[in-house]
Amino acid sequence: MSNQGPRSGYFSVLLDVEGMKCGGCVRSVEQTLLAQPNVANASVNLVSRTALVDLENPKESIDLILKALTERGFPAKRKEVTPFDKKTPAEIDATKQWWYQWRQLIIAIILLLLSVLGHLTERGTLDIPVLGALPFHASLATFALIGPGLPIIKGGAKAAWALAPSMDTLVGLGVSSAYLTSLVAFIWPTIGWPCFFNEPVMLLGFVLLGRFLEERARFQTNKAIKQLAQLQPDTARLLLKNNEIREVRVGALRPGEKLQLLAGDRIPVDGVVVKGKSAVDISSLTGEPLPLEAIPGTELTSGSLNLEASLVLEVKRVGAETALARIIGLVEEAQARKAPIQGLADRVAGRFCYGVVTLALFTFFFWWHVGTNLWPEVLNATGQGLIHGHEHGMHASLGGSAATPLGLALQLAIAVLVVACPCALGLATPTVITVASGLAARHGWLFRGGDVIEMAASLNQVVFDKTGTLTIGKPLVVGSFGTNQPNRMLQFAASLEEHSRHPLAHAILQEAQRNELPLLDSINTHTYPGRGLAGELNGVEGLIRVGKLEWLQSEGVELGDEIQTDLEKSKFLKESIVGVAQNKQFLGLLIIDDQLRKDTQIALDRLRKQGLTLNIFSGDQQRSVEHLGNQLGFSKSELGWQLLPAQKLEKLEIIKQQGTVAMVGDGINDAPALAAADLGIAIGTGTQIAQDTADLVLLGDRLEGLPDALLLAQRTMSKIKQNLIWAFGYNMIALPIAAGVLLPKFGLVLSPPIAALLMAISSITVVLNALSLRSA
C-alpha cells in the first residue's frame, strides 16, 4: 500500500514488520530504516506491527530496505492491497499467530500448574513424591526452556547480537541465569549454590500468559478496521444485457457494469444510480444519521446500505479505488504515523534494555559482595510482603528466603531483568492512536496520523471558510411571498431560466423539478447582464420578466407599498431576492439563498464552549459575510471578506502568532489555506477523502462532527499521557524494589515469578486503558 504523503512531498509505503516485541524493537526498526539511503522518514507502530516509510525516490526498489530489516531480525514485506473478498497475507499470518498464542497459553497454564503443585508438595501440603523430587523439577525446567522458552531465548540472543536488546533479551537472560545456576548446583552439589528449577518454569508461565492476554487486547484495538472491511459484501448481483441476473464475486466486477441492489443489500462498489428510488443508510462511513435519498444520478459509495427499494447501479470504482478501501488505507497509515509525544518514550525504550542489564549486573555484584556484609540479617530471614518460599533438601525457591549471598544476589538480579517493562513504554502511545483512529473512522472522521491527533488536541483557534463549509454551497429556493399562485410564478420563472447558466437559475429550475412543474417553451428570450431575463412563453400572454427588483421597477413594474414594507423587514439580502412579472403586473418574489448547514449553529456553539476562538475568512462580498456573521454570533473583528487566496494566507500567518490554528474548508478551493494552517480540516463526501492538503477529513455534511472529532483528540491525548505516566512510573518504582532497596529495612523483595506477573500486568494495563477510550 502506498500513496503520496500529506504535505510531505514524499512517497509513502506501508510495511508489515514481524518480530517486534517492545519499545526497544520499535527503536531498532526505525534506526534501521532511517539508515537506508532512500528513506526520508519512518514511523513504526508496535500495535499493528507496521512501518510507514517516506521514500525520497519512489522509483527505487524497496528490496534493500526489506533485506536490511530481515538481517536485523525483523522480517518485513510491503503491505498488500487485497480485494475485500479475499484474506490478506497479514490476516492469514494473524490467524496462524492466534492459534500459536492459544497453544502457548495452554502450555503456560500447564507449566504454572505443575510448578504450583511442586511447591505444594515441597511444603507438605500435597503428598505426590514425584512432584517434589529434584530430577522432576530439573526435567520440567529443561522442557520449559527447550520448548516454549526457546523462541524467547533465541529471539533475545539475536536481538542482543544485533546490538538491539529487547524484552526477549531481558527475559531470556533471567530464565537462562536461573536455569544454568540450578543446573550447576544439581550436577555439582558440593559447590554450595542454591538450586531453584521451579522459578524458570513459573517465570516462563507468567510471561506466556501475559503475552496471550496482551495479544488479545491488541486484537481489540484493531477491531475498527476489520469492521470497516466487513461493510463490503463478498458477492453482487450483476445485471446482464438480456436482463438476466448473475451472482458474481465483487472482485470480478469492472467499471461500466450494472448491478441490481435489493432492499437490505450492502453496496459493494462505488457507483451511480441509473434506475430506481430508495433511501440509503450512509452512517457507517460518514456518521450521518439521516438516510440519503437515492435517485438516478446519485453517487453511492461502497459499504452503504440500501434500505427501501430496488436500485440499478452503474459501477464506477472497484477494489482498492473505492471510497471504503481508501478510507481503510488512510486509517492504517494514520495508525502507523506517530504522535510527537511518543518521541520521549521511544528514546527511553531504545536504551532501556541496556540500562536494565547494567542495573541487574550492579544489583548482582552489590548484594553478592557488599549488601550481605552491610545487612547480614537479610540472609535466612523469612521475607515479608511478596517474598515467600520453602527449602526442601537442595531445592530452594528463588522467590523465598536466600541462604547465601550468591543466592540472594542472583534472585534480585533476575527479578530486575524480568520486572522491567519496555513493552509498556512502547505500547503507551500507539495503542491509543490505533483505537482513536479506528473509532474516528467509524464516525466518518479521518485523522491523517498521531501527529494530527496531537495537533487537534492543542488547538486555540478555528478559521472557517463560508461557502460550502458553514453553508451547503448551493443556492436554493427557500421561500416566496407577494403571490397567491406560487407554483404558477415558479413555473414561469423556471421556463424562462431553462437555458441560463446562472447559479440562481439552477436553483429555480431545481425547485420547479422538486415540485414536479412542467416547463413551458420559451420564445425570444433576452438576457440583461447583471439584471435579469425577459421573454415570451408558449401559451402565456405578455412579456415575462425575471430578475432584480430594481430592474423590474425601472421597466415600469410596480411592487406596491405592502411588498416594500415586507422587503424592509426581511432578513434576506437584496442579492438573494428574484422578482417575477408578467407585462407590468408583479407576480411575486422568490427567495434564493445559500442555506446554512442544519447543524452549523450547534457546532459553533459547542466549539466556543470548548474555549476556541472562531473566525470566518471568505472571498464573498462584505454584506454577505457580515449578514452570515451576525446570524451566527461573530463580531466584525472575527470576519474577513473579499479575501483572495494570498490574502487568506497573510491573515492566517498573523493569527498563528496567537496560538495553534485550524482552517476548515471544502478541501478543494481552500487548498492553500488548509496547507498553511497548523491543522487543515476538509469537509466533503467520500470522493474527496484523498485531499492531500487536509490533515483531518470529515466525511458527509455534518459540521457537528468537528467538535466531536476535536473532543476525541483531547481524550486521546489524555489517555496517552495516562499511559506514559503509568509506564514510566511503573518502571521507576518496580525496578528499585526488584533491586532490593526495601529489603534491609522492610524485608520486601520481588520474586522473579511475581516480577514477571507484574511486567505482564503493566503491558496489559496500558492496552486496556487505551481500549477504555471506546466507552468514554
Q: For 509-517, which contacts have Cβ atoms below 8 Å and span 24 or more sequence positions?
A: 510/476, 510/477, 511/476, 511/477, 511/590, 515/487, 515/490, 517/487, 517/490, 517/491
Q: What is the C-alpha separation between 719 and 714, in angstroms, rounded?
A: 9
Write phi, then psi, for 317 (nearest 5 degrees): -135, 140
Angle CA(630)–CA(631)–CA(634) in degrees, nearest 5? 45
* Strand-pair partners of 710: none
Q: Are 335 and 295 in contact (CB under 8 A)?
A: no
Q: What is the C-alpha separation between 25 and 352, in angstroms, rounded?
A: 11
Q: Are 345 and 724 in contact (CB under 8 A)?
A: yes
The H or E element spanning position 590 is strand 585-596
Residues annotated as catalytic (active site), given as ranges: 465
| Of the candidates 582, 605, 595, the residue with the CA atom closest to the CA atom of residue 511 | 595
The three three-digit cell numbers of residue 625, written as one number: 459575510
Residue that is written with C-alpha cell 437584496 in the block: 574
Question: Which residues contact residue 184 at a Cβ distance below 8 angstroms, ignoring those fewer than 6 apart?
Answer: 191, 193
Maximum separation of any 2 CA atoms in the chain, in Å: 124
C-alpha atoms less than 13 angstroms from C-alpha of 331 in its C-beta half-sphere: 29
The H or E element spanning position 731 is helix 705-738
Q: Are 589 and 579 in contact (CB under 8 A)?
A: yes
Question: Which residues contact residue 163 at a Cβ distance below 8 angstroms, ignoring those fewer than 6 apart?
Answer: none
User: Would you give the end-to-end CA distance of the chain in angstroms?
Assistant: 32
Residue that is written with C-alpha cell 533465541 in the block: 154
Residue type, 676: A
The three three-digit cell numbers of residue 722, written as one number: 495516562
